[in-house]
Amino acid sequence: MTDASIPVVPEDGQGQEQERRVLDVRQGLFHASTTSDVSGYNDMTWYVEMPQASRRPYGGWYDGFVDRLRGLVGDPDEAISSVVVDRGEITLFIDRAHLAEVARVLRDDPMLRFESCPSVSGVHYPTDRGAELHAVYHLLSMTHNRRIRLEVTCPDADPHIPSVVATYPTADWHERETYDFFGIIFDGHPALTRIEMPDDWPGHPQRKDYPLGGIPVEFHGATNSPVHERRDYNS
């Protein structure tokens, strides 16, 4: 079922039917390939889904907001790849080459005025081929009391996204954390170094391909044993 599309009706029974693309099908809480899943959810099947572009009208202030933004960027069809309204929230998928331009427009235009970027988050979808790494920017307009998300993708083979620190200085540490944990390189960042892990730490711990367990612990000579060597609470 990977990469298939399935229609999903919103949980609240409102709004248009939202199509979702299935990126992966998983068994058990931790997607364990052995019987050593100690969560108690060994028989659970669940889906990693990505909501697809929404159809207009989006509802509320979303339509006017999208029209305003599209009218201010140089190539809106190239800059904004899709608009997703899901669970009452709006996310704009932005082409990474246009991220800096879109961020400046969102901050500076008086009709938009998203002055603040409170958070930058990373996500790793190993089965989203060609777009395995996602950076999610949460933007806040204090002037208009509105919130939006920008989502930008890049492939594992080329993990580069332009930094928005020049527009949103508060993104400084958030981009460093996203680099630290996911390996996304924010081009133009003033000092892109690790912020949580030691400078010589191998790999990026929140990626899905990072080893689960078995990592030596540096305190008092202790070690963290691999998952399959731990106690199985279902026995």
pTM, two decimals, is 0.77
Task: Give the orientation angle of helix 99-108 with respect to helix 62-72, to 10 degrees.
Answer: 120
Q: Taking a C-beta distance cutoff of 8 angstroms, is the pair 104, 162 a contact?
A: no
Q: What is the pLDDT of residue 7?
A: 42
Rounded CA-CA distance 104/69 in Å is 11
Q: Taking a C-beta distance cutoff of 8 angstroms, is the pair 11, 207 a contact?
A: no
Maximum mean pLDDT: which of 11-20, 163-172, 221-230: 163-172
Full set of structural domains in the chain with CATH: 52-229 (3.30.460.80)
Q: What is the pLDDT of residue 48?
A: 77
71: pLDDT confidence band, cut at 50, 70 and 90? very high
Asked if omega into 226 is within 30° of 0 (cis), the reply is no
CB atoms within 10 A of CB 2: 12
Rounded CA-CA distance 124/189 in Å is 21
pLDDT value at 152 more than 60? yes
pLDDT in tens, 6-41: 444 444 334 455 677 887 787 776 665 555 556 666
Rounded CA-CA distance 211/198 in Å is 17
